[in-house]
Structure 1
Amino acid sequence: MAALYEGYTLCGLVPSQNLFNSGIRGIEAERDGDHVIVTNSTRSVTLYKVSDQKPLGSWTVKQGQTLTCSVVYNSQTKEYVSVADHKVVRIWNEGDASLDKAFKATVTSDIWRVHCLPGGKPVVLFQRGAVRLLDSLLAAPQQPIEEVLAQEETIRWSTDLMADSQQFVVFITEQKGDHVLYLQRLNPNTLHRYRLEREEPGLFPLSFCATCRDEHVCLLYLYPNGHMYHSEVSMRGLGADEGAKALPLPRIRLLGLPVSEGVLEAATALVLDDAHVAVVGVPHPSAGTGKNYLCIWNTNFQTVQAGKEISGKIYGQLWTYSNKLFIPHGKTLSVIPYECLKVSLASALGKLRQRESEVSTAPASVPSWNNILHGEKAQPSTVETRKSRTSRRFRSLSCLTMDQVLALIKTAPVEEVQKEVEGLLSRTDLQGLQPSVGQIASTLVSRSLADPAFYTQSTLVQLVRTQSLCHSVCPDLVLLALERKDYFLCQLCLQFFPDIPEVVTCACLKAFISMPDVDAEKVSLEPDGVSFMKSLLAREDDQVGLQNGFSPALHDEDRSEPLVGSHAISQARAEDKEKNSTPSEQICPVSLNKAVLINEVLLTPYSGGFLLPHLKDLSSQHVVLFLQYLHFLYRKYSQDASSQMSGVRSPSLTQVMDWVSLLLDAHFTVLVMTPEAKGLLLSFHRFVKSQVRLVSELGKIEGGLKELCNLKVKDDVGQYSIEVIELL
């Protein structure tokens, strides 16, 4: 998963008159991730502190001179390196007020760029392909520079990489439509060439990006038709120079980005990590034409993870440092923070927070990846379940094909649609039907949204129960269920969909809390959740126990010393029983069915960073009611550890406290100012204090046990002895 956060302006721009150039030649990192150097395309360079959005220093070359490559920072010497008019190298530090007195040297050949990695030495790449360390070049500025490239061959892009303690300069050239990747190793000095495959006639790469991963140079490049390719070069087999021979470089197409009209003109792609790519200048898949977007794509699953509309003209430039994207657009250079979470199949489907008992009882009807990819046959079931008996009974109901059923859904009445879909599901293997279940569900949902009189509740429930659906396949299903107040279908979706977005989770929570109790009692729900709540509500209120060293009865008053011994505990229980003779905290603040539905929300996978903004949309009345219910669950769990039943749909104490923390983070001011929440907050505060006290006491016990283990035991203590052990 990935997210783009609210951006801010670093500085203004002065674009060129033709509006094809942003006016920025390059942005380089300085001493740390909060300092960058912005090089103007003409004469000036400015040092910015990003978090403060202000310049710390600025330098300008004389009138008539031009900075011809971006200025870099040498972290070893704390100096800046620039190139003016392709041949004049200047070096200065932050304390220098003017470039007139800075060190300068003129070289014999035109320079393409100076590269410098953090902690590395500056490297000079000449326009004709030669490479020199800056120190060796400045030792003899007039030394002859060889020509590596052919006569009509020109450099289009370059960078430098550090891999396995070796420094590489990577650059790409173009000659008559052919592009060649050059890989220059500095120590030992070797050069290798690789020829890129051609795209359609007349299409040349718009942008390049290179990273180092697992001893491979990974190249990413984007074409105007939206095709994004990935190529790798292993550094293990790099030996001596291979002369002028350019080896073919295989490529893999990572993404086919949307192109609205014609071809892309000013677009660029930038690698953020192993699975995420930032793209600017490419239309958003769900947005209309004429809008500029910055998007983060997941290359593993080929989906847009985050998108942000960018105002003004896009110049096809993008840089990233310290989880911040720097993008010039219009007359502004903006900084947009981003976050990319570690990507796996589980994280793509949702942050699963299940107990071991839930994982062990996962339904066996979900096909494995081996079955899907390699066609391995699933083990046949020897037990005929109720679902298989139903399937056998309806096996001869329908003989329509999938396309015929989809066409029928769009026009036929509800009864006929239900009959044909049920017949199709009964006569087809569910594992082989998985790709088609999404089409059926999407078609049913589309018609239900367009036609208020059409709604096939039983068919949608049957499709969800196949466990071949997820929210990504049919994103409007849960919202349709909320619109039709079909809370049973909502419950099933929350149970079976592992990828429900946080905004949909909060929409379900709001609907469940605001639902009248009269309507809630009319809903038929899954029996597991209902049985758990009935068991929880039926437990005796005076049943008090210790959970993780904490009992609410023992800490209703803030005692300075803990009670010790069974007599003290019994006395505290008796006192607390008198205090709580009217236990309003022991009464569930919501009805049984409403509590069951809220429990499904508590069990739904989520990511806290994405959930918090949507949780803030709850009203103060709903927040207090939700907190009261969480407090009710916490009290029940604290009094009786057996309240957390295994094998049923019941939230754990950890999940309850996680939601309490989220609710406090989202509505802290509201809760502090609400009188009804005061007692709840004090109760949770006592719980936290008791946990701190418990951990402190456990630490003392741990120290005592360690001292006992360290004591030397005497081999011969005689027939009788008294030994005193003192723990300090």
Structure 2
Amino acid sequence: MAAFCEEFTLCLLAGPGGSALPQGPLGLEPDGDRVLLTDRNRTVTLYKVSDQKPLGCWSVKQGQTITCPAVCNFETGEFVLVHDDKVLQVWKEDDTNLEKAFKATFSADVYWIHSVPHAEPLVLFKNGTIKSLDVLLAAPQQEIENVFSNEVIRWSEAFTEVEKPVVVFITEQDVNCFIYVQHCNPYVLHKFKLDQAGDSSPPLSFAAYLKNKIVTVLCLYSNGCIYKILVPLQQSDSEEQHILPKSLLTRIQQSGTIFKRASIAILDKDHIAVTGCLDSPDRKVNECISLWNMKFQTLQDSKELPLGSTGQCWCYGDRLFVMHGKELKVILYNCETSSLAAALGKIKSTSTSETTSLSVNWNILQEDGQLCVQPDQPLPAKGASKRLLRSGRTTGAKTQLESLTVEQLLLIIKNSSLDVIEEKLMNFLSSTQIPDFHVSVGIIISALINRCEAEPAFYPADCLVQLTQMQGLSYSICPGLMTVALEKTDVCLLQLCLQQFPDIPEAVTCACLRTFLSISDDSLEEMNVNIDCVASYIDPTPNRKKQNQSEVIQNGFSSELLEENSCDTQLTQTSHAVEPSKLCPVGPQKATLLNAILRSAYSETFLLPHLKELSAEQVILFLQYLQFLYIKCSEQTTTDLPGMFCPTINQIMDWMCLLLDAHFTVVVMLPEAKGLLSSLHKFVRAQIRFYSELNKIEGSLKELQKIKNPKDVGLYSIEVLKLV
């Protein structure tokens, strides 16, 4: 999944008379946490993105126009630009006047300058020639030969392939497009023709990435179609011109609308960002930026740009730079692993020490495609169907006490006593050969559940727990298991299912949550719930008050929540009474069960309606526990709770936001919730101030790193470092 995160304005840009620039900046080039912004007139500005402030600004003379955006020479730390097509200027960050900087005039017009790591910048001329900057500066007036004459360059990009730079650029002549691959050191040029079949609309934007010696070019057309073109870095020795086919990836708009001022940016191998203006026949114009998953051809997130946009978009790191009205916006984004589970909202993050569940039953099919295998039907023999779902089997040597087939065990489950079933089940699980192990276990669980429903007094709790502990099971393999466990209030089995199953429906998750919150702590103490995962941060005797103990603040947390003007409070305080938020509102058994809920996979769209079924008392109790966990996470240096099966701080915050969204009116109206909301507000405000101070410290440390210390300081020295 891909989604937008927070955003902020980096700077304001305006044209003559204060109007917004109609075409946007000329270019935006990265330099670590800094960017070089070149406007279409005379100015280049260096910004530090994290601080949202300019570090320097340079302008060419009145009457001169920058025609090639400024870039950074990574080899020398200098900046380079071209104005009036042929005049190149080189300057350093501490230079204040470009008139005093180095100048050189070339004999041909420059199209673009590409910065390449660990190499000199490459200069691409409008006639298709590419030269290294150091070669050009050695003889600026050297003759630049023509690669083509009647073609116009539309786009170019530089890559590094086996530590050697490669430039790929696309030209246009009439209705034909050509792709050039220019190898540098040594200089070798390959030319390809782009197949124009299947689309008569003009291309608007190009983006590309290099992988396995193949450049993948994505092309966005005005009709909303995105095509993929695979460009090999090597060409056969024959002089015959190769025609590169293009394949349609997706169409990102409805028929009848066209794109204007659009651009495409590659986020990772599966996700792209598209910015542009959609114009429909009814003259309705919609400008937005959207994130798309190319593997599943789905829209992941979208953000409207009501103030208008130039259609320009740059992507560097995890940041998108987009023009919105007169502002240059920085939009942070997040891309998760692209998979079917993520697309369905069922992905689950687990640590390597935890049991992982990988298998999902998409129904067992016969050769004719009909549904097969009911709980009371025999399992097909091994090899009878190639379309059976195959999952991993148990490993390790097992003692074969008695050879039992699935059919025999199903008959035993139907008619035998609980003791006999437990004994035969143990023998079955101990056998060395079990075809389609996880499918077999799912059928056995379903048979046990069917008997539980037929005989209310029959409930093989130990058998169900033992079967559920098998790795690789899922909710879809045994869908009735958690329903029976909820009816029997078997919290131990529910906890195990929540920890093991990756595909539990949101309705079942909320039913488990209601059950856990409704059971009293006294009743849970009598149940066999493993509390090892919470014992390190929850007092097993929650009613015991801690008094007259000195607390040391960690990670910016104070037991007395900071007020607006209390930044100078000492870091060591004495607390005469433990605050309510420092005490866990639930017992360790209930905390363990609630942690299993917090770690479960869910989709917000499907979870919110079921969260609304919680009562007001349950909402307050759950919020109090989430507040307790959040404070505990803030006390830890790593913001991670100790132990296995503990929720992360992101999971805690997500559930808190979901709960407040689902019960906003209830929480606001309840008198007992006012203190809780006020406490949360104060704590979050204190955390914001704390992280703000951390950002300042980070900036100071980065300034210290820039100071060049002498290589030989002798056996003893004293240095004074001054930060301005």
Same fold (TM over 0.5): yes
Q: Amino acid of the residue matched to residue 134 of structure 1?
A: L
1:89 alignment partner in structure 2: 88
Shift of the 365–246 alpha-carbon distance from structure 1 to 2, 3 Å rule, reads same
1:309-331 Cα offsets, whole Å, 9 max, x none, are 11222222111112111111322
1:662 alignment partner in structure 2: 652
Cα distance in 2 for residues equivalent to 1:38 and 1:347: 36
2:14 alignment partner in structure 1: 14
The equivalent position to 1:320 in structure 2, one of 315, 318, 332, is: 315
How far off is 1:156 after superposition? 0.9
- Secondary structure in 2 matching 1:191: strand
Where in structure 2 are the equivalents of 1:501-650 lying within 5 Å? 537=523, 540=526, 552-553=539-540, 602=598, 604-606=600-602, 623-626=619-622
Cα distance in 1 for residues equivalent to 2:202 and 2:678: 66
- Secondary structure in 1 matching 2:140: coil
1:27 alignment partner in structure 2: 28
- Secondary structure in 2 matching 1:96: coil
On the 8 A contact 2:475/2:502 being kept in 1, the answer is: no
Q: Amino acid of the residue matched to residue 381 of structure 1?
A: V
- Secondary structure in 2 matching 1:100: helix
- Secondary structure in 2 matching 1:304: strand
Shift of the 212–326 alpha-carbon distance from structure 1 to 2, 3 Å rule, reads same
Cα distance in 1 for residues equivalent to 2:374 and 2:514: 43
How far off is 1:251 after superposition? 1.9
1:474-508 Cα offsets, whole Å, 9 max, x none, are xxxxxxxxxxxxxxxxxx999999497xxx88x98
How far off is 1:21 after superposition? 3.5
Shift of the 295–6 alpha-carbon distance from structure 1 to 2, 3 Å rule, reads same
Where in structure 2 are the equivalents of 1:182-193 lying within 5 Å? 182-193=180-191
1:170 alignment partner in structure 2: 168
Cα distance in 2 for residues equivalent to 1:95 and 1:599: 55
Shift of the 196–620 alpha-carbon distance from structure 1 to 2, 3 Å rule, reads farther
1:162-214 Cα offsets, whole Å, 9 max, x none, are 12211011110000110011000002211111111115565221001111122
The equivalent position to 2:242 in structure 1, one of 223, 242, 247, is: 247
The equivalent position to 1:294 in structure 2, one of 289, 292, 300, is: 289
The equivalent position to 1:257 in structure 2, one of 252, 264, 268, is: 252
How far off is 1:234 after superposition? 3.0
The equivalent position to 1:196 in structure 2, one of 188, 194, 197, is: 194
1:344 aligns with 2:344: no
Cα distance in 1 for residues equivalent to 2:37 and 2:161: 27
1:137 alignment partner in structure 2: 136
1:609-634 Cα offsets, whole Å, 9 max, x none, are x999x999x9996554115778999x
1:381 aligns with 2:381: no
Where in structure 2 are the equivalents of 1:353-502 lying within 5 Å? 359=357, 362-363=360-361, 365=363, 381=373, 384-385=376-377, 498=503
Shift of the 615–175 alpha-carbon distance from structure 1 to 2, 3 Å rule, reads farther
Q: Amino acid of the residue matched to residue 51 of structure 1?
A: S
Shift of the 198–621 alpha-carbon distance from structure 1 to 2, 3 Å rule, reads same
Shift of the 379–49 alpha-carbon distance from structure 1 to 2, 3 Å rule, reads same
1:212 alignment partner in structure 2: 210
Shift of the 169–599 alpha-carbon distance from structure 1 to 2, 3 Å rule, reads closer
2:154 alignment partner in structure 1: 156
Cα distance in 2 for residues equivalent to 1:65 and 1:621: 71
Shift of the 630–19 alpha-carbon distance from structure 1 to 2, 3 Å rule, reads closer
Shift of the 602–205 alpha-carbon distance from structure 1 to 2, 3 Å rule, reads same
Cα distance in 1 for residues equivalent to 2:35 and 2:150: 35
On the 8 A contact 2:521/2:587 being kept in 1, the answer is: no
More helix by share: 1
Cα distance in 1 for residues equivalent to 2:333 and 2:207: 19
- Secondary structure in 2 matching 1:71: strand
Cα distance in 1 for residues equivalent to 2:331 and 2:324: 12
Shift of the 677–156 alpha-carbon distance from structure 1 to 2, 3 Å rule, reads closer
Cα distance in 1 for residues equivalent to 2:117 and 2:650: 43
Shift of the 194–514 alpha-carbon distance from structure 1 to 2, 3 Å rule, reads same
- Secondary structure in 1 matching 2:261: coil
Shift of the 47–601 alpha-carbon distance from structure 1 to 2, 3 Å rule, reads same
Shift of the 202–607 alpha-carbon distance from structure 1 to 2, 3 Å rule, reads closer
Give ranges in structure 2 of 5+ residues lacking alignment. 379-473, 480-496, 550-583, 630-642, 661-671, 684-724
How far off is 1:385 after superposition? 4.9
- Secondary structure in 2 matching 1:95: coil
1:70-129 Cα offsets, whole Å, 9 max, x none, are 110112111111111111111011111111111111111111111112433110101000
Cα distance in 1 for residues equivalent to 2:143 and 2:200: 37
On the 8 A contact 2:599/2:646 being kept in 1, the answer is: no
2:61 alignment partner in structure 1: 62
How far off is 1:3 after superposition? 1.4
1:223 alignment partner in structure 2: 221
RMSD: 5.4
Cα distance in 1 for residues equivalent to 2:157 and 2:532: 62
Cα distance in 1 for residues equivalent to 2:67 and 2:327: 22
On the 8 A contact 1:293/1:309 being kept in 2, the answer is: yes
On the 8 A contact 2:531/2:588 being kept in 1, the answer is: no
1:4 aligns with 2:4: yes
Where in structure 2 are the equivalents of 1:87-126 lying within 5 Å? 87-126=86-125
On the 8 A contact 1:623/1:663 being kept in 2, the answer is: no
State how many pairs are aligned: 500
Where in structure 2 are the equivalents of 1:269-284 lying within 5 Å? 269-281=264-276
On the 8 A contact 2:129/2:146 being kept in 1, the answer is: yes
TM-score (norm 1): 0.57
TM-score (norm 2): 0.58
More strand by share: 2
Shift of the 79–378 alpha-carbon distance from structure 1 to 2, 3 Å rule, reads farther
- Secondary structure in 1 matching 2:347: coil
Shift of the 588–163 alpha-carbon distance from structure 1 to 2, 3 Å rule, reads closer
On the 8 A contact 2:540/2:587 being kept in 1, the answer is: no
